[in-house]
Structure 1
């Protein structure tokens, strides 16, 4: 993958979960986040998080809908490589048939 961040394209990636994937998601979440944080430190992932059917309520199983992230690489093919190497794909969480990869250009970013 290219490493010059100044020349990278941004891609908004929407990754719906497969039905019934909550347990599989939770089982590999720590591994998924470890790699995602490494990619963020390298400037590849600019933000990411879980999409919900509703906000998480104390004591209830979360109602996950999928994930969303902003990836900075040159090509859509590189985005697909990143997605396909993720623990959520390896563990049948994300529905690859419904993934959306959208060219994107940030107008505003606010740090957490």
Structure 2
């Protein structure tokens, strides 16, 4: 891991687009998204991340994705936004950035 000195953690909530093709776009680039996310984990910039679902995954069915959630460890909101905007889910119109939300937590 990186020797990051940031004491700021940004909880980032990224809803998915709701059009009929959003899930297909997500699934098409998911391996590349996960590869890049794991690299950010190794750099110490992502503490955790995962999908948000409308309901539990049912065997044999495509998950009903709602979006993503991440905890980023960077100093500024601008750095958090830079990471988000550099994600392949943005390039492939998966996340609805108009509905993006974040919250800051400083170390105690």
TM-score past 0.5 threshold: yes
**TM-score normalized by the length of structure 2:** 0.91
Distance in 2 separating the partners of 1:10 and 1:24: 29
* Regions of 4+ moved over 6 Å: none
Give the Å deviation of 1:106.
7.1
In the other structure, the counterpart of 1:6 is: 5
TM-score w.r.t. the length of structure 1 is 0.88
Match in the other structure for 2:88: 87
Structure 1: stretches of 5+ with no match in the other structure: 108-112
> Structure 2 regions of 5+ residues with no counterpart?
none
Distance 1:106 1:15 in 2: 23
Q: Is the 8 A contact 2:7 2:106 kept in 1?
A: no
Q: What is the RMSD computed on CA atoms of the aligned residues?
A: 1.6
1:31 counterpart residue number? 32
